[in-house]
Amino acid sequence: MGNISKDEILKIVKEKNIGLVRLQFVDIVGQTRNICLPVSQLPRVLDNGCSFDGSSIEGFVRIEEADMFLKPDLNTFALLPDEIKNDKKIARIICDAYNGNGEPFEGDPRYILKRTIAEAKALGYTFNVGPEFEFYLFDLDEKGHVTTHTEDKAGYFGFGPTDKGEEARREMIFELEKFGIEVEAAHHECGPGQHEIDFKYGEALSTADNAITVKNTIKKVAADNNLVATFMPKPVYGIAGNGMHMNMSLSDNSGKNVFYDESDPNHLSKIAYHFMAGIIKHIKGMTLICNPLVNSYKRLVPGFEAPVNIAWGTKNRSPLLRIPNSRPEATRVELRSPDPSCNPYLCFAVCLAAGLDGIKNKLVCPPAVNKNIFEMSDAEMVDYNIGILPLSLEAAINEFKNDPFLKDVLGEHVYAKYLYAKCEEWKDFSQHVTNWEVDRYLHLF
């Protein structure tokens, strides 16, 4: 909504007949949490915040340190479309988490992104991001249980005017616009039941807030249409996975895009090259943040059209980093590996920090690779010095441990909590007996 005051919020609450307000925040894995309160409590909360017990929140504090409070970011106040209880409407405000002593909580993902943005600001840069969300819409069965079934047979950019998913996607656009989120494009993706919604790029913090809103809205509209929306990276074997390509750029204090240089053959500035070099340097360790699930690595598979090749290029989609054709003010770097299961606050933070590391240390970017890497032999990959992303959660954990830079970016608290959670996830998966194993081995041995 832009800059808005406490008095303006209270005026809207009265005019719109709002009865409840949700105070939203996210845990370290990116799950939305909220505290719901009646509007009678809103003036107090807008002034003083809202206390809560953080001991049960993923990655927050221990029981003996449980007292925390949420401080609303007034600029994120928004009416929740079509949510009405007892003839009263519901609004939401996104919050920052604070310790009981009034200091920002170092484990709050939003704080980590804000801290990294401040570092960029000190260097004279604003970080702009435009994510592209892919997701599947599947049917519920007659008992309301989730399935991976869909009647949708449309392909890439396909059109099915009678398809439930097509209708739901149109409704999603309208609902997102009610939040003030500008949807730039929406279309059917490659897989049956797969869709993509892209919204306008913006400053990283507001874009991360919007990313959470987009995911929640897509899921709600799907449920209202008797569908389930999933951002799971690889929900079905043999069909396309869900990605979250990230378009990134830096602007200076005047709003000028500093990635553009007309005199360069690729129209890229030295700053852009250094930024890419920083991403390339840290991408293996960053993968645990950008691709956080066991399932993420069912999408990142060599030999298929997956963004696993650590290289950059301007003319094809096989490298990890791509420079889309664009106007000077829209020059950007597209990182193709993240998936939509990631925590956008942490993902944006590590990408920005890596890019700034490249800029501050004037890291040298390798030459562009404008051949189709998917068709290269192993020998050619070696000749071009093209590395590969980690191919399992375990490998990503090891790369994460091997890059101390990421501990500096995330802080000791989130680094330790996040690493522990991912190690436990891998341990649990490694000990779990899957249907694939039963089907393959039970009758043989």
- Is the four-CA dihedral 97, 99, 102, 103 of positive or negative sign? negative
Tell me how crowded residue 359 is: count the other CB atoms within 10 A of its CB: 21
Catalytic residue at 336? yes
- Fill in the amino acid letter for 309: N
Chain centroid offset of residue 300 CA: 17
Tokens of 78: 């928004």
State the Cα torsion 397-213-337-255 to the nearest 10°. -110
Burial 167-187 (b: 16+ CB within 10 A, else e): ebbebbbebbeebebebeebe
Nearest to 251 by CA among 367, 319, 334, 352: 352
Catalytic residue among 73, 108, 134, 339: 134
Catalytic residue at 189? yes
Catalytic residue among 175, 196, 198, 209: 196
Contacts with 123 (C-beta within 8 Å, 6 or more apart), sequence order: 356, 359, 360
Catalytic residue among 132, 152, 166, 357: 132
Catalytic residue among 175, 334, 339, 399: 334
Catalytic residue at 317? yes
Tokens of 328: 């000077």
Instruction: Tell me whether residue 340 is exposed, middle or buried, using C-beta atoms within 10 angstroms of its C-beta: 0 to 12, 13 to 18, 19 or more.
Output: buried
Catalytic residue at 334? yes
Q: Parallel, antiparallel, or unpaired for β 18-26 and 32-38?
A: antiparallel
Q: DSSP assignment of 217-249, as one string?
A: HHHHHHHHTTEEEE--S--STTSPPP-EEEEEE
Catalytic residue among 58, 115, 187, 317: 317
Catalytic residue among 22, 245, 267, 322: 245
Catalytic residue among 336, 339, 357, 403: 336
Q: Are 195 and 135 in contact (CB under 8 A)?
A: yes
Catalytic residue at 188? no
Q: DSSP assignment of 43-87, as one string?
A: HHHHHH-EEEEGGGSTTS--GGG-EEEEEE-GGG-EEEEEEEETT
Catalytic residue among 189, 198, 339, 357: 189
> Which residues are known to be catalytic?
53, 132, 134, 189, 196, 245, 317, 334, 336
